[in-house]
Amino acid sequence: MKTLTEHIHHVKGQPHHVRRQVTFAVAGGTTIVIALVWFGTKLALGSFALPNTSFADATGKSQLETVPHTSSTGLAGAAAALDAGTPAHIEIVDTASSTKPAPKAEQTTIPF
């Protein structure tokens, strides 16, 4: 049986169309393995279970429990948006009226 290094050297010696087939086969196989692991994990944890179904009952996910959020951390923006004392407005600041002319942008050439 060949080691992985020997197999890679053997494939490098093959024509381009064969190397392309090997590349797509390895990428497809890896994708399938990752998808199967993800799907199996989701299925085992009951993440795909719909409430009030026999599958949900079998996985123990038949009832959804909601927990009220009592912390006010991070709600400063929402509290400011609910201020009914001031009407909504947009402030436009004119920046083109400065006395100093804007510097000219220098063109940069990036060699490739």
Over residues 5-51, the pLDDT tens digits come to 998 898 899 999 999 999 999 999 999 999 999 999 888 887 766 66
Predicted local distance difference test score (pLDDT) of residue 92: 74
The answer, yes or no, to whether residue 96 has pLDDT greater than 90, is no
Residue 69 lies in a domain: no
Residue-wise burial string across 81-91, b where 16 or more C-beta atoms lie within 10 A, e elsewhere: eeeeeeeeeee
Residue 9 lies in a domain: yes
Percent of the chain with pLDDT over 90: 26
Range of the domain at 9: 4-62
The answer, yes or no, to whether residue 59 has pLDDT greater than 70, is no
Average pLDDT, the chain: 75
Predicted local distance difference test score (pLDDT) of residue 98: 59
The answer, yes or no, to whether residue 93 has pLDDT greater than 90, is no
Residue 41 lies in a domain: yes
Residue 71 lies in a domain: no
Q: Which pLDDT band holds residue 109 (cuts at 50, 70, 90)?
A: confident
68-97 mean pLDDT: 62
Task: Using alpha carbons, select from 17, 19, 16 the residue that is nearest to residue 8.
Answer: 19
pTM: 0.42
Number of domains observed in the structure of the chain: 1
Please classify residue 13 by burial: count the beta carbons closer than 10 Å to its beta carbon, then call 0-12 exposed, 13-18 middle and 19+ buried: exposed
Residue 51 lies in a domain: yes
